């Protein structure tokens, strides 16, 4: 038996003992996972700095405090989320007197979590928390592109979590390919759509359900007559954090030509107040994960007129926060998810053209709008589709743990966070009780 096969067999046999089902065990695991975060705050930030030059405040906020908040919310609400539902008596017409019916959640079994490199801790351990809260055993495969973080999790997880119920397997494509040949009861994959398809094909072999947390080009519609200094500050904060390597980062802006000019000026001011006059020397600005991604993003810089930024240094994996003006729909930067610190501004005549532009493309993971108009909000909500929809503050929707986080169409399948993680990692079982007399 290969190592991977024996790890999976161990996790399956633990699940069979029933030890992961009691709510008390689930809560113990969540409390232990919380301690992993609080005890190792500094080592986590160190690993993220090594992998991504992630600024410490970003590391604490997104990769330590965010998961802790998710765990605390789950601990507080788990009993309520797991409570069985019961149908009203009038839904049972025709069945004998005294009949009851409802649903309850049962764990699926052994879950595989495959994580990416951009928020390598959060996107590994928040799904693990959800799978454990739902009573499963879990195998985590972190991304090989964030090696320091992967090694740290491989070292810490067995120290804090039940080693018979949770395992970490490190590695890249060969290990993932081997893992995908095994039978799991759910596969939770975060990453790109190409690998998403590989995962789904492998899962189909065993009829294993999948959650695919993918990406896409998340548009931002900026209406006329909005306060552009507020818009620029919030847009720059969302776009340039983690050097743009965020799945829900605004990918491009759609706005009318006059607003575009003013917004570009406001963005330059916002970037300067975030990172000073040379972002390269700012502690608050990260780097591109590796040379391959650097080359991919750097090749997009001549897709429009430079309104801001454009400097690069391959040895340092540095790409300046960049705004491209007057970008045409057929430019290279508009053909694929940017996943880097480059913000194209595409000019449209108004809302109708913006909606058509969005609907001509794949359904994005997020769609953002800055507008004072209720009609515009209603139209964006009803005439487009996206994983999430956020007005006024890009990326904030994923911090609300009771909102489902996930994509639609090319941006993904399924969702998680809070109660949605329980739904994802459980089977909702129907139950009918008919009295014998
Ligand atoms: P990645 O390259 O780290 O890949 C993710 C995982 O897939 C890794 O564990 C990797 O080992 C595995 N993998 C890679 N190639 C494989 C293959 N051929 N066969 C089997 N497994 C393979 O991450 P990435 O894809 O570069 O991440 C960036 C993408 O992820 C972007 O599109 C981004 O939008 C998306 N993303 C989505 C979310 C979300 O929550 N929806 C979050 C972060 C990133």
Beta carbons of 296 and 316 less than 8 angstroms apart: no
- For ligand 1, atom 35, the nearest C-alpha belongs to 191
DSSP 290: S
Q: How far apart are CA 39 and CA 272, in angstroms?
A: 35
Band (398; pLDDT cuts 50, 70, 90):
very high
Which helix (H) or strand (E) segment holds residue 123: the answer is helix 122-133
pLDDT of residue 54: 95
Q: Among residues 221, 223, 250, 226, which one has the least CA distance to residue 237?
A: 250
Beta carbons of 169 and 180 less than 8 angstroms apart: no
74-96 pLDDT, tens digit each: 999 999 999 999 999 889 999 99
pLDDT higher than threshold 80 for residue 1: no
Q: How far apart are CA 140 and CA 154, in angstroms?
A: 9
pLDDT higher than threshold 80 for residue 244: yes
Atom of ligand 1 nearest to the CA of 411: 41
The stretch 266-291 carries a mean pLDDT of 96
Q: What is the mean pLDDT of the chain?
A: 97
* pLDDT more than 90, % of the chain: 98
Ligand 1 neighbourhood includes 187 CB (under 6 angstroms) = no
Tell me the Cα Rg of the chain: 23
Q: Among residues 240, 136, 257, 236, which one has the least CA distance to residue 186?
A: 136
Q: How far apart are CA 339 and CA 342, in angstroms?
A: 8
Q: How far apart are CA 175 and CA 139, in angstroms?
A: 12
- For ligand 1, atom 30, the nearest C-alpha belongs to 191
pLDDT of residue 437: 84
pLDDT higher than threshold 90 for residue 2: no
The residue from 247, 264, 337, 410 that is catalytic is 247
Ligand 1 neighbourhood includes 2 CB (under 6 angstroms) = no
Q: What are the tokens at 242?
A: 């983690």
Ligand 1 centre distance from Cα of residue 70 (Å)? 22
Ligand 1 neighbourhood includes 181 CB (under 6 angstroms) = no
The stretch 233-260 carries a mean pLDDT of 97
311-332 pLDDT, tens digit each: 999 999 999 999 999 999 999 9
- For ligand 1, atom 1, the nearest C-alpha belongs to 116
Q: What are the tokens at 49?
A: 């700095």
The stretch 390-414 carries a mean pLDDT of 97
The CA distances from residue 61 to 44, 241, 305, in Å, are 12, 11, 34
DSSP bridge partners of 110: 137
336 assigned to active site: no
383 assigned to active site: no
Q: How far apart are CA 321 and CA 240, in angstroms?
A: 6
Q: How far apart are CA 120 and CA 52, in angstroms?
A: 10
The CA distances from residue 419 to 103, 105, 119, 122, 281, in Å, are 15, 12, 21, 17, 42
Band (46; pLDDT cuts 50, 70, 90):
very high
The stretch 175-201 carries a mean pLDDT of 98
Look-up: residue for tokens 């959640």?
105
**Could you tell which of 116, 173, 386 is best to mutate to test the pocket of ligand 1, judged by most ligand atoms within 8 Å of the CB?**
116
Beta carbons of 376 and 231 less than 8 angstroms apart: no
* pLDDT more than 70, % of the chain: 100
Ligand 1 neighbourhood includes 144 CB (under 6 angstroms) = yes
Predicted TM-score (pTM) of this structure: 0.96
Q: How far apart are CA 71 and CA 23, in angstroms?
A: 14
Ligand 1 centre distance from Cα of residue 92 (Å)? 46
The residue from 213, 264, 337, 410 that is catalytic is 213
The stretch 183-190 carries a mean pLDDT of 98
- Spell out the domains of the chain, with CATH numbers in brackets: 3-214+407-433 (3.40.605.10), 219-399 (3.40.309.10)
Q: What are the tokens at 272?
A: 């300067």
96-152 pLDDT, tens digit each: 999 999 999 999 999 999 999 999 999 999 999 999 999 999 999 999 999 999 999
């Amino acid at each position: 038996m290969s190592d991977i096969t024996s790890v999976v067999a161990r996790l399956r046999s633990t699940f069979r003992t029933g030890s992961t089902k009691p709510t008390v065990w689930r809560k113990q695991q969540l409390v232990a996972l919380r301690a992993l975060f609080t005890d190792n705050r500094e080592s986590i930030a160190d690993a993220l700095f090594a992998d991504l030059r992630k600024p410490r405040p970003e590391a604490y906020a997104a990769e330590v405090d965010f998961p802790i908040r998710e765990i605390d919310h789950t601990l507080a609400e788990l009993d309520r989320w797991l409570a069985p539902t019961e149908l009203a008596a009038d839904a049972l017409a025709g069945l004998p007197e005294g009949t009851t019916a409802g649903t309850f959640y049962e764990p699926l079994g052994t879950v595989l979590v495959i994580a990416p490199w951009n928020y390598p801790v959060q996107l590994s351990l928040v799904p693990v928390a959800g799978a454990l809260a739902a009573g499963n055993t879990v195998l985590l495969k972190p991304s090989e592109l964030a090696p320091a973080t992967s090694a740290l999790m491989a070292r810490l997880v067995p120290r804090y979590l039940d080693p018979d119920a949770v395992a970490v397997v490190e590695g890249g494509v060969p290990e993932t390919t081997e893992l995908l040949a095994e039978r799991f009861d759910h596969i939770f994959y975060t990453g790109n759509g190409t690998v998403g398809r590989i995962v789904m094909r492998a899962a189909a072999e065993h009829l294993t359900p999948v959650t695919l947390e993918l990406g896409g080009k998340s548009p931002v519609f900026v209406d006329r007559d909005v306060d552009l200094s507020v818009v620029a500050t919030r847009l720059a904060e969302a776009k340039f954090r983690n050097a743009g390597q965020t799945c829900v980062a605004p990918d491009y802006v759609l706005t009318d030509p006059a607003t575009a000019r003013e917004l570009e000026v406001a963005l330059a001011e916002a970037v300067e107040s975030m990172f000073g006059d040379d972002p390269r020397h700012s502690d608050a600005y990260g780097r591109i994960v590796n040379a391959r991604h650097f080359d991919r993003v750097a090749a997009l810089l001549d897709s429009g007129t430079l309104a801001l930024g454009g400097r690069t240094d391959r040895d340092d994996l540095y790409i300046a926060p960049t705004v491209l003006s007057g970008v045409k729909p057929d430019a290279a930067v508009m053909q694929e998810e940017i996943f880097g610190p480059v913000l194209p501004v595409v000019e449209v005549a108004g809302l109708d053209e913006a909606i058509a532009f969005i609907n001509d493309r794949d359904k994005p993971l997020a769609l953002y709008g800055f507008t004072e108009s209720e009609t515009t909000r209603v139209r964006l909500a009803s005439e487009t589709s996206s994983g999430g929809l956020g007005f006024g503050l890009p990326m904030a929707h994923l911090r609300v743990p009771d909102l489902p986080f996930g994509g639609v169409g090319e941006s993904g399948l399924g969702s998680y966070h809070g109660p949605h993680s329980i739904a994802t990692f459980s089977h909702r079982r129907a139950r009918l009780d008919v009295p014998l007399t």
